[in-house]
Amino acid sequence: MNPLDEVRSSWASLASEINAADETKLVELRSRFLGKKGEIPGLMRHLGSLSADEKPVYGAAVQALRQEVESTLDRLQEQLRSAALKARLESERLDLTLPGDRSEAGTLHPLVALRDEILDLFTGMGFEIADAPEIDTEWFNFSALNVADDHPARDMQDTFFLSRERGEDSLVLRTHTSNYQPHAMRDRKPPFRLLSCGQVYRCDSDATHSPVFTQVEGLVLDKGISFSHLKATIYTMVRALYGEGAVLRFRPSFFPFTEPSAEMDVDCRSVGLDRDGWMEIGGCGMVHPNVLTNSGVDPEEFQGFAFGFGLDRMAMLRHGIKDIGLLTAGDMRFLRQFKGLA
């Protein structure tokens, strides 16, 4: 057999292998037959031994074989490429009719929704919103507010102390937002109307008391402020939150930092709760002259009122919640009820 026929038949004998070739096999075949040192270019070496008549015939035959091999390999390569593309498109196909993953929209926590509503309301009455630290000194939390050193509120049972030593500069978790009052009086000059809202901490826990809860504190200082201003402000707030029919009362009480002092209660039935009795919302009163003096305000010149209400209690009243702990428990079964709050 001449070399040309040898190459031709070795190519032909590979037919089944060629048709089933994968990418690597194709590369291998291409280099075996068509590569620089491959079998077909190798055939040209025999040209020299041929007669002038045979040369063109031989050359044309080698060329024809090269073209056949080349086009077969090109065609197979193209087939492999389009099969791979088809498989990829197949696997990446998007089924637009599949139901999507529904991501649940969040909602405001009832305390946050109520806080925002109250802040809006007081901003509308000309109050400025301000803040005080949750970790504060005994001076700001107690002494400046006329709370004597031996007052029961300072007791271990009520206060979370953060320092080993006791003293004016030692740190506590604030037990009320009233720590805000001396900060405000030292940081700015009266007259002012301020509202502060934040978390407070007490060693206390049952259905209506929580170790951490939120208070809303108001402080107004100006000339000629009286208890009527306090009452009018609180009536406005309660009626805006619970409706015109809301019934409230001021009960005489005692706080070292206000004189006179009162506690404010709301009638549960009057705000639509299915329950008799009053819900205590918080304390209020006229700022005690000692508190003004302690922070450098002249009580002869300025008077004021303050109030500190429990936001959690107000939320309980609003939604008929019986256990205050639910408001901070993070239980989705409870929280899902408030989906409508925006």
Nearest to 172 by CA among 206, 144, 196: 144
Assign 141 to helix, strand or coil: helix
- Does 306 bind ligand PHE (CB under 6 A)? Our answer is yes
Task: Compute how many other C-beta atoms are within 10 angstroms of the C-beta atom of residue 328.
Answer: 16
Q: Which stretch binds ligand PHE (CB under 6 A): 101-109, 163-171, 288-296, 302-310?
A: 302-310
Q: Which stretch binds ligand PHE (CB under 6 A): 44-52, 158-166, 233-241, 301-309?
A: 301-309
Shortest CB 219 distance to ligand PHE, Å: 8
The answer to whether the CB of 292 falls within 8 A of the CB of 264 is no
Shortest CB 178 distance to ligand PHE, Å: 4
Shortest CB 192 distance to ligand PHE, Å: 15
Among 178, 214, 294, 303, binds ligand PHE (CB under 6 A): 178
**C-alpha–C-alpha distance, residues 158 and 95, integer Å:** 61
- Does 234 bind ligand PHE (CB under 6 A)? Our answer is no
Shortest CB 215 distance to ligand PHE, Å: 6
Shortest CB 113 distance to ligand PHE, Å: 23
**C-alpha–C-alpha distance, residues 197 and 184, integer Å:** 13
- Does 308 bind ligand PHE (CB under 6 A)? Our answer is yes
Among 283, 291, 303, 317, binds ligand PHE (CB under 6 A): 283
Shortest CB 136 distance to ligand PHE, Å: 13
| Dihedral of the alpha carbons of 118, 119, 120, 124, in degrees to the nearest 10 | 100
Query: Which sign does the torsion angle of CA 78, 80, 82, 88 carry?
Result: negative
Both tokens of 125, joined, read: 């009455």
Shortest CB 281 distance to ligand PHE, Å: 10
Among 62, 197, 284, 315, binds ligand PHE (CB under 6 A): 284
Shortest CB 210 distance to ligand PHE, Å: 13
Which residue lies nearer to ligand PHE by CB, 140 or 255?
A: 255
Which residue lies nearer to ligand PHE by CB, 107 or 208?
A: 208
Among 258, 294, 295, 303, binds ligand PHE (CB under 6 A): 258
Task: Compute how many other C-beta atoms are within 10 angstroms of the C-beta atom of residue 236.
Answer: 14
The answer to whether the CB of 280 falls within 8 A of the CB of 229 is no
Among 307, 312, 317, 324, binds ligand PHE (CB under 6 A): 307
**C-alpha–C-alpha distance, residues 122 and 217, integer Å:** 11
Both tokens of 272, joined, read: 């639509």
- Does 176 bind ligand PHE (CB under 6 A)? Our answer is yes
Q: Which stretch binds ligand PHE (CB under 6 A): 50-58, 60-68, 72-80, 276-284?
A: 276-284
**C-alpha–C-alpha distance, residues 173 and 142, integer Å:** 12
Query: Which sign does the torsion angle of CA 234, 238, 241, 243 carry?
Result: negative
* Residue nearest to ligand PHE as judged by C-beta position: 308
| Total residues in contact with ligand PHE, by rule CB under 6 A | 12
What SS3 string covers 54-65? HHHHHHHHHHHH
| Dihedral of the alpha carbons of 38, 43, 48, 51, in degrees to the nearest 10 | -170
Tokens 């929209």: give the residue. Answer: 105
Name the residues that contact ligand PHE, by CB under 6 A.
176, 178, 255, 258, 261, 282-285, 306-308
